[in-house]
Structure 1
Amino acid sequence: MAGGWARDGAVQDQIDASVEDAVLEARSNIQTGESAEFCEECGEAIPEARRLAIAGVQFCIACQSKLEATEVSRGGINRRGSKDSQLR
């Protein structure tokens, strides 16, 4: 299927590697441990239901929402190089 200098299955290998990277990143963001009773950012009490539902939670909902809004998205760029970038 692949042509030129790429071996057969190279495109699928890139897709598999990108998916594996995304899974590893998601797993690294999973919180573990004991949940905090008070938000580390604002000091407000974290509701018990939230502490029980999310292991290792450290922020209240408002502060967590602000934190997630400021995180930079990695975007959809394949850092291993796409076929189009190799043709230029």
Structure 2
Amino acid sequence: MILMGFGLFFFFVGTLGVLRFPDALTRAHGAAKCDTLGAVLCIVGLILQSGFTFTTIKLIVVIVFLWTTNPTATHMIAKAIYKRKD
């Protein structure tokens, strides 16, 4: 439950970053960092809660998927924003 609480904290901080940062690039950076960390902490909390089952393996696959797709998607969005400003 503690890890899930930390994960929710990072989701909250990421939401504040999206609302308070001045431009789209800094918003994307803040949201991506907090979103990835918050989701991983919540999923690790679920892994510890469920014990070692087949569900644990599925959750680990979800973590790997999130670590791969979140930074990649944020990079592509930021690149599109940067090119659009030119």
Higher RCO structure, 1 or 2 (CA under 8 Å, sep 6+): 2
Which of the pair has more CA radius of gyration?
A: 1
